[in-house]
């Protein structure tokens, strides 16, 4: 597997050299492979947001490097804009960045900045709208006429339309209701599967991340404390708790059952998985029809 993003000894220090010096990110090194869906979790203030903003050059690391396709993104500071197209970043509550007259123009903003035009631009807009489930008739409306959920999707489409190689989403489901959350999450996984792109998903929802992530980055006080496959991460409930994080309820239930001596696997992530694990056991005991 080829490595798309590599962080080498990456640090960010706020107010360097002043008495208020604060290390937001502390010597993080890691490799992300092309096509992975990575979950990023950590308590508020763990440094995950700062780290994400260094990935696309919005913040310049005070130490260390970010390598994109093997090249240091700050090798030529004048070309940092190029990096922002390659690593697309969707901020929290992205609907607050909409500004154009129509949804179409707003989605096109980033793609145009990247230099797309004509048919290629049109295609990019249409694909982005399709991935985020925006109906074509909405494209001609003003973004301010859309509902809350639609605005969110239009804003995400604006980043997807830039055709980034890596898509970073910071809390894309924050503030949405259960249905909106589920729909958006499935749209993101579909995008990931069809494009085979790398996606980084920062979230507080353990249930969401358990369902979709291949591997999980766990940040704590600026340090990378864990970077393992999802199942491995969630089978360490006690350690996660120390870092102010939790595991999905279903994972905890199965862990408790395991402690009670039941023969169920470790790190169960979804209700379906738990159901499939329990079914044969219950059948064996003759508890089911």
Partner 1 sequence: MRDVAFGQYFPGKSLIHRLDPRAKIILFIAHIVILFCTFSYPALAVTAVFTALFLILSGISPKFYFKSLKVIIFIVLFTSLLNLFYGSGEPIWQWWIFKITLNGINRAVFVTTRIICLILASSCLTFTTSPTELTDAIERLMKPLRVIHFPVHEIAMMMSLALRFVPTLLEETDKIMQAQKARGADMESGNLVKRVKALVPILIPLFVSAFRRAYDVATAMECRCYRGGAGRTRMKQIHMARRDAAAFVVMALVIGGVIVCNILFKAAI
Partner 2 sequence: MSFISIQDVRFSYDEIEEGKPVRYAVDGVSLDVERGEFVAVIGHNGCGKSTLAKQLNAMLLPDSGKVIIDGDDTSVEENTYTIREKIGLVLQNPDNQLVASIVEEDVAFGPENLGVEPAEIRRRVDEALKAVDMYEYREHAPHKLSGGQKQRVAIAGILAIQPQCIVLDEPTAMLDPSGRQEVVSTLLKLNREQKMTVVLITHFMDEAVLADRVVVMDSGKILTQGTPEEVFSQVELLKKHRLDVPQSAELAYKLRGCGLKINHIPLTREDCVALLGEAMR
- Map residue 134 onto helix, strand or coil: coil
Nearest distance from C-beta of residue 109 to partner 1, angstroms: 6
Residue 34 CA to residue 95 CA, distance in Å, equals 28
Residues 144-173 that bind partner 1 (CB under 8 A): 144, 158-159, 162
Residue 241 CA to residue 250 CA, distance in Å, equals 16
237 binds partner 2 (CB under 8 A): no
Within a 10 A sphere around the Cβ of 19, how many other Cβ atoms?
5
91 binds partner 1 (CB under 8 A): yes
Write out the H or E segment, with its range, that includes residue 226: strand 223-229
Would strands 37-41 and 22-33 be described as parallel, antiparallel, or unpaired? unpaired
Residue 60 CA to residue 49 CA, distance in Å, equals 13
Structure tokens at 238: 């006690």
3-state helix/strand/coil string of 153-179: HHHHHHHHCCCCCEEEEECCCCCCCHH
Looking at the chain, list the stretches that DSSP marks H as alpha helix, in order from N- to C-terminal side.
48-55, 80-86, 103-114, 118-131, 148-160, 178-195, 206-212, 230-234, 237-242, 249-259, 271-284
Q: Which of 244, 265, 266, 280 binds partner 2 (CB under 8 A)?
A: 244
Q: Which of 100, 141, 180, 223 binds partner 2 (CB under 8 A)?
A: 180
88 binds, among partner 2, partner 1, none (CB under 5 to 8 A by kind): partner 1
Residues 13-52 that bind partner 2 (CB under 8 A): 43-44
Nearest distance from C-beta of residue 5 to partner 1, angstroms: 16
Interaction pattern, residues 40-69, with partner 1; x per rule: CB under 8 A: -------------x--x-x-----------
Q: Which of 57, 94, 143, 248 binds partner 2 (CB under 8 A)?
A: 248
Number of residues that bind partner 2 (CB under 8 A): 37
Q: Which residues bind partner 2 (CB under 8 A)?
A: 43-44, 147-149, 174-180, 182, 204, 207, 244, 246, 248-250, 252-253, 256-257, 260, 262, 271, 274-275, 278-279, 281-282, 285, 287-289
User: Which stretches of the chain bind partner 1, using CB under 8 A?
Assistant: 53, 56, 58, 81, 84-85, 88-89, 91, 94, 96-99, 109-110, 113-114, 144, 158-159, 162
């Amino acid at each position: 597997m080829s490595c798309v993003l590599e962080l080498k000894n990456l640090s960010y220090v706020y107010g360097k050299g002043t008495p208020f010096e604060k290390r937001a990110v502390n010597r993080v090194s890691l490799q992300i492979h092309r096509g992975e869906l990575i979950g990023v979790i950590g308590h508020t203030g763990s440094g995950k947001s700062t780290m994400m903003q260094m990935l696309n050059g919005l913040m310049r690391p005070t130490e260390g490097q970010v390598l994109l396709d093997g090249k240091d993104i700050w090798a030529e500071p004048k070309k940092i804009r190029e990096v922002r197209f390659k690593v697309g970043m969707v901020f929290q509550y992205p609907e607050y960045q909409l500004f154009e007259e129509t949804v179409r123009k707003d989605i096109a903003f980033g793609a145009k900045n990247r230099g797309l035009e004509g048919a290629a631009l049109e295609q990019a807009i249409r694909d982005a709208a399709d991935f985020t489930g925006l109906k074509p008739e909405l494209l001609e409306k003003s973004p301010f006429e859309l509902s809350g959920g639609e605005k969110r999707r239009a804003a995400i489409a604006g980043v997807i339309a830039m055709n980034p190689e890596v898509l970073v989403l910071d809390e894309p489901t924050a503030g949405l209701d259960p249905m909106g959350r589920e729909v958006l999450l499935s749209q993101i996984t579909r995008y990931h599967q069809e494009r085979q792109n790398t996606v980084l998903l920062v979230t507080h929802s353990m249930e969401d991340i358990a369902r979709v992530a291949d591997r999980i980055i766990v940040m704590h006080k600026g340090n990378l404390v864990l970077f393992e496959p999802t199942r491995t991460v969630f089978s360490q409930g006690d350690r996660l708790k120390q870092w102010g994080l939790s595991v999905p309820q279903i994972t905890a239930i199965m862990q408790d059952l395991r402690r009670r001596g039941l023969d169920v696997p470790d790190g169960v992530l979804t209700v379906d998985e738990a159901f499939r694990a329990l079914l044969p056991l219950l059948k064996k005991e003759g508890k089911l029809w």
